[in-house]
Chains A and B, each alone.
Chain A
Amino acid sequence: MQLPEIVAVLRGIPLFAKLDSSKLKLLAFSSTYLTMDAGEVLFFEGDPADSVYLIDEGEANIFTGRGAKEVKVAQIGRHGLVGEMAIFRDSPRSATIRAAGRLKVLKIDGDVFRAVVSENPEAALTVMGILSDKLAATTDEYERLKASAAAAKDRSVTSQA
C-alpha cells in the first residue's frame, strides 16, 4: 500500500480526520502497514511498547495472562485503536493481541502518535473519549464480576448451611 492510500485510510478515521494534510502525511510516512493471518500475534503481554496500532480491516482478540492461563477478554474491530495505553503510561504491554482472521493494521510509531495527539486538542479529546469508553467497559465488567462472585458466595454459604 502506497503513501497516498495510507493517508486516505487515516483521514477516514475520526481520530485523525481534523489533522492538517502535512501532519497526516508525516503520520503515514512514519507508519508501517502490516498484514497478518489468523492467530498471528501483534504483541505479547509484557513486551516493551513502542507503537500504537490502528485496525484497518479485520478483527483482533485481546487476551490477558500468559501461557496456559491466557484468557480472552475482548475483541476489537475496524478503526479500533490498540496499544495506546502502554504508550501513554510508558509501561510494558498489558495484554496479548492476536489476529482473529485476516487482519490489516497500521503500526504507528509511539513517539509520533504522542506528538500528534499532544499537538492537536481535537485528537487528544478523541483519545480521551476512546480511553473513557474502555474505562467504562472495564468498570461494567468489574461490577458484573463482583455481582456474580457475590452471588456465587451466597450460593456456597446457603449450600453449606
Chain B
Amino acid sequence: MEPTFFKFIFRYSKRQQIYLLVLTCLSFPFLYYSLELPKLIVNDAIGSESFPKTLWGWEFEQINYLMILCFGFLILVGIRFGLRYYVNVYKGQLGERMLRRLRYILFARILRFPVPHFRKTSQGELISMVTAEVEPLGGFIGDAVAVPAFEGGTLLTILIFMFAQDWMLGLAAVALYPVQMYLIPKLQRQLNLLAKERVRAVRKLSERISESVSGVEEMHAHDTSERERSEFAQQVGVIQGIRFQIYRKKFFIKFLNNVIGQLTPFFFYSIGGYLVIKGDLTFGALVAILAAYKDLSSPWKELLRWYQVKEDTRIKYDQLLEQFQPAGMLDEDLQRVPDGHVPRLSGQVVATNLTLQDESGVRAVDGANFQFDMGENVAVVGGSGSGSDSLAQMLARIIVPTSGSIFIGDANLAALPESVTGRRISYVSQNVALFRGSVGDNLFYPLMRQPLRSGAYEGEAAKRHEKYIMEALETGNTASDMEADWIDYEAAGVADLDALTERAVEILKAVGLDEDIYVFGLQGTVDPDRDPGIAEQFLKARDMLRRRLEDSEFTGLVESFDRDAYNRNMSVAENVLFGTPIGPVLDLEHIGENPYMLSVLDQVGLTEKFLSTGLQVAKVMVELFQDLPAGHEFFERFSFISAEALPAYQALVRKVEPGDLEDLDPEDRTLLMSLPFKLIPERHRLGLLDGSIEQPLLRARRAFADGLPESLRSSVAFFESDSYNPAATVQDNILFGKLIYGRQQSQREVGGLIAEVVDTLQLRRKIVEIGLNSQVGIGGGRLSAAQRQRLGMARALLKRPDLLILDEATANLDRLSQSEIMRRLLEESGEMGLVWVLTHGEDASRFDRLIEMDGGRVVANHSIAKVAQIDNAADAAAGE
C-alpha cells in the first residue's frame, strides 16, 4: 500500500484528478465575468446617461442595453453552475470508485495475512475498518485536488477582481488571513491527536462488543453482566470525553473563522465609504466589491474545511496502514489465479531445521528434521504442546515457518503458489468452517477456485454484466463472475455435474455422512418443474409404499390421504385445507382467523358447532394450564392456547355460557373459532369431535377447494393422490398420509419401509442429491459438530489431493466411526500421501510411518514395518 494517502490518490486517479483540475480552471473566466457584469450593469446601464451605446458594432438604447447585460449575466451564471454540477457528479463517481478499490485492497490483504496474526486481531476491528472507517476516505478522494483548486482559484479570482478595483480594499479583504493561517493549523494539530485517539477507542469498543457477543454464554453462566456493562460503560465514557473535546475544538475553530469573517466588512464600509465620498471609487465598484466579498467568504470557509478533512483522512489512512501491513504477509503473486496446468506434487517430503517462533520468542516447533515418502501413510503423534498441530499447518502451508524449509520433491513449499499448495494438498482440522449456502456448495467449495465456464447473458442482463466488468476493472477489482460455473470437474476426476454428484455420494459414504444427507433429502423439497421426471418417480414410490402398507404386518401404521375420507390422525385445520400451506396466509396456526376459511365454515353450516366445541376446548385448556407459570415450556408443547392469550380465555370461560354463543363479541368469537382447528381426534381424545362432524368437515374441504379465490391460489398446494406436491417434503410426498397415533414403533417401521421402497426404485441417489441442496445455516450451525467434521473430510477428499493432512480431524466423532474412517482412508489412500496428527499412539501401528513429537522437536521417526521386523527379530532371538 502507498505510504501516504495522497500517494494512494495520485497512483490510482492521476488522470481523473488532472481532468478535474482542467475543468475547474475552465470555470474561472466565467466566474470573473459574472463578477464584472454587475459593475457594468450598475455603472453603464443604470447610472450612465450617454446612450445609445455600441456593443459589437450594434447600437442599443438604455433599456435594451440593460436587458442584454442582464441576460448575459444569467447565461454566465448558468454556465458556472452547470459546470459545477458536472464536476460534482464526476467527483462523486471518482470517490465511489476509489472507495471500492480501497475496500477491495484491504480485503485482499486480509486474505494474505499470516494466519497466526488473526489470533491477535479482533474480527470486530477488521470489520469496522473495511466497512465504516474507509467511507470518509472515499468521500474525500473526489475533493482531494478539485476542492483546493476550485475554491483556491475562486478565492484568487475574486481577490484579483478586488485588487483590480482598488488595491486598498483588496488588502482590507485579506488583512486577517495571516492570523487564521497561523492559528488554525495549531488548533488542528491538537484535533488530529484527538482524532487518532478516537479511532483507537472506537476500535477497542468494537473489539469489546464482538468479544461480549461471542462470550455471551460465559456471561450468563457466571452472572457477570454487570461487569460487562461496566466495562462497556467505561469505554463509551472515554469515547464520549474524546468526542466532546473534538467538538469543542472544532466549534472554537468555527467560531474564530466567523468572528474574523464578520470583522472584514468593517474595513469595507469605513475605507470604501471614505473613497466613494472622496470620489476615488465609483459607487458601482463598491457594490461589486461588496457582492464579491460575500462570495469570498464561502471559498475561504471551504478551503479551511478541506484542510480539516484532509488532516482527518490522513490520520485514518495512517491508521489503516498500521493495521494492514502485518509482518510476514503472503506474497501477492502466490495467490494469483494460475493460467495453465498446475503441477502435481511427488517425491520425498523433507523438512530441514523447521522452526516456528511467535513474536514473544516461544517456539511451537523447534528445529524439526524429518522426511517421508509422499506415498506413505504417516502418523504424527504428540499431545497438546508438542507442536504436532503447527507442524501439520506448516506442511499444508497454512502457516509459513520462521526458519528452516520443507521440500516436496524439488519444490520448496514456502515458494509454491497457493494454486499448487491449495489444490494438491488438503488440510482438515478439528474445526471445520462451513459457509452459508447448501451442503453441496460447501462440499464443492474446494473445486471452485476460478470461473471456468462463463455465465450466459442476454439483452438487458448482458449490458448490465458488461457494465459490471467495466466498473470492476476500473476500480482494480477482480472481474471474475460469480454467476459463472466455477466447479473444476477435472480436479475431482469427473466429466460433469452428474458424475461429480455420483462421486460425492461415494465420498459421503466413505466418511459416513451419506445417511444424514439422505435424511436431509427426505426432509427437503424439490421443484418438479426444474427436475422433470422426478415427480413421476416419487409418485411411483408413493404407490409402492401404499401397497406395502396394505400388508397385514404393516396395517395400522399410516392413515393415507384420501380426498373423500376424513383423516382422524391430522388436525381439523389440515383436514379442511387438505394441502400444504405456502407462505403465511394460510398458516395452520392462524387459519382460524382467515376470512375465507370462516366463510367456508358458514357456508357448510359449521360455525355454530365450531363455537360450541371451541368453548369446550377453551374450558379444558384453561383448567389444564392455568396453574402453570407463564413461560412454561408445556404451553408451547401441549397447549392450544399460548401463555399470553390465556387470561383472555380465562375471562371468556367465566362469562360465556353455552347459550350465549349467538351474540358474542367479535374478539371472543375469533378466540373460540380458532380452537377446534387444532384438534387431532386420535391424539387429543377430548371426546369433542364425534363421527357426526366428519361429513360436514368433508363438505367444508370440498367447498374450500372449489370456491378458492384467485388471490389464495398460490398459498396452498393441495394433496392430490396422482400429483406431486412441491410444497411438501419428499418424505411427506412418498408417505402421502399421517402416522397413526398409538403405535410405538411406527416412525421406525415407516422409515424402514420408505428406505426399502427408495432402494427398490433406486431413488436413494436422487434423495441424497436433494439433501445436498439443504442449507447449512450461518457458519454451518444447522449441522452437528460431527456432521461438519465429516463434511470437511469429504470435501478434502473430493479434490483428490496429492497429500492429505488430517489434524485430529476425527476428534468430534465417536470411537467406532473414527476407527472406521481411519481404516477406509488407510486402505484407499493409494498414491496419495496421508499425514494424520494423533494425540495418542494406539492407532499408530496401522500406519506406514510414525513421527513422534514432543516439546516442538521430532523425537522419533521410523517406518512401522521396520519396527515390526525388529520386534519380530527380537522375538525370534528370544525364542532361540
Contact = CB atoms under 8 A, between A and B. Distances in A.
A26 B685 contact: no
Interface in A1-50: 1-4, 6, 22-23, 25-26, 29-30, 32-36, 40-43
A112 interface: yes
Contact of B744 (A22, A25, A34): A34
Interface stretch (B101-109, B339-347, B622-630, B780-788): B622-630
Contacts of A34: 742-744
Given A22-B624, A25-B623, A30-B638, A107 B744 contact: yes
B744 A6 contact: no
Given A26-B624, A111-B633, A112-B634, A32 B683 contact: yes
A112 B683 CA distance: 17
Contacts of A41: 744-745
Contacts of A115: 634
B291 interface: no
B740 to A, nearest CB: 11
B686 interface: yes
Interface string A88-124: 0000000000000000000101011001000000000
Nearest to A103: B744
Choose among A6, A25, A29, A42 the residue with the greatest number of B CB atoms under 10 Å from its CB. A29
Contact of A30 (B620, B626, B634, B742): B634
Interface string A117-153: 0000000000000000000000000000000000000
A26 B634 contact: yes
B232 interface: no
B229 interface: no
B691 interface: no
A107 B743 CA distance: 11
B556 to A, nearest CB: 9
A29 B624 contact: yes
Interface in B124-166: none
Contacts of A35: 742
B10 interface: no
B624 A4 contact: no
A22 B627 CA distance: 9
Nearest to B683: A32
B627 A3 contact: no
Contacts of B638: 26, 29-30, 112
B743 to A, nearest CB: 7
Contact of A36 (B623, B624, B687, B744): B744
B684 interface: yes
B625 A26 contact: yes
Contacts of A36: 744
B395 to A, nearest CB: 39
Contacts of B687: 2-4
Contact of B686 (A3, A33, A40, A112): A3
Choose among B620, B625, B745 the residue with the greatest number of A CB atoms under 10 Å from its CB. B745
Interface string B700-744: 000000000000000000000000000000000000000001111
A40 B623 contact: no
B75 to A, nearest CB: 84
Contacts of B620: 25, 29
Contacts of B627: 22-23
Contact of A2 (B623, B626, B685, B742): B685
A1 B637 CA distance: 21
A29 B635 CA distance: 12
A83 to B, nearest CB: 12
A150 B683 CA distance: 53
B745 A6 contact: no
Choose among B625, B627, B742 the residue with the greatest number of A CB atoms under 10 Å from its CB. B742
A47 B633 CA distance: 24
A22 B634 CA distance: 14
A41 B687 CA distance: 29
B530 to A, nearest CB: 37
Contact of A32 (B623, B686, B741): B741
Nearest to A51: B744
A3 B685 contact: yes
B816 to A, nearest CB: 12
Contacts of B742: 32-35
Interface string B621-656: 001111100000110011000000000000000000
Contact of A22 (B623, B683, B685, B686): B623
A28 B686 CA distance: 10
A18 to B, nearest CB: 16
B784 to A, nearest CB: 14
Interface string B286-317: 00000000000000000000000000000000
Choose among A1, A4, A26, A111 the residue with the greatest number of B CB atoms under 10 Å from its CB. A26
Contacts of B745: 40-41
Contacts of A25: 620, 623-624
A98 to B, nearest CB: 11
Given A2-B687, A26-B624, A29-B684, A42 B744 contact: yes
A106 B633 CA distance: 21
Contacts of A112: 634, 638
Contact of B685 (A1, A42, A43, A111): A1
A26 B685 CA distance: 13
A132 to B, nearest CB: 28
A34 B744 CA distance: 7
Nearest to B742: A34
Contact of A40 (B637, B683, B684, B744): B744
Contacts of B634: 26, 30, 111-112, 115
A23 B744 CA distance: 25
Nearest to B743: A34
A2 B633 contact: no
A47 to B, nearest CB: 9
A66 B633 CA distance: 35
A6 B624 contact: no
A57 to B, nearest CB: 14
Nearest to A104: B742
A107 B91 CA distance: 74
Interface string B604-633: 000000000000000010011111000001
Interface in B672-699: 683-687
A6 B685 contact: yes
Interface in A30-79: 30, 32-36, 40-43
Interface of B: 620, 623-627, 633-634, 637-638, 683-687, 741-745
14 contacts: A2-B685, A3-B684, A6-B685, A26-B634, A30-B637, A33-B685, A40-B745, A41-B745, A42-B744, A107-B744, A109-B637, A111-B633, A111-B634, A112-B638
Given A22-B627, A29-B624, 20 more contacts: A2-B685, A3-B685, A3-B686, A6-B685, A22-B624, A22-B626, A25-B620, A26-B625, A26-B634, A29-B620, A29-B638, A29-B684, A30-B634, A32-B742, A33-B685, A34-B742, A40-B744, A41-B744, A107-B744, A112-B638
Interface of A: 1-4, 6, 22-23, 25-26, 29-30, 32-36, 40-43, 107, 109, 111-112, 115
Nearest first, the 10 A-B pairs at minimum CB distance are A2-B687, A26-B624, A2-B685, A30-B638, A34-B744, A3-B685, A34-B742, A22-B623, A25-B624, A3-B686
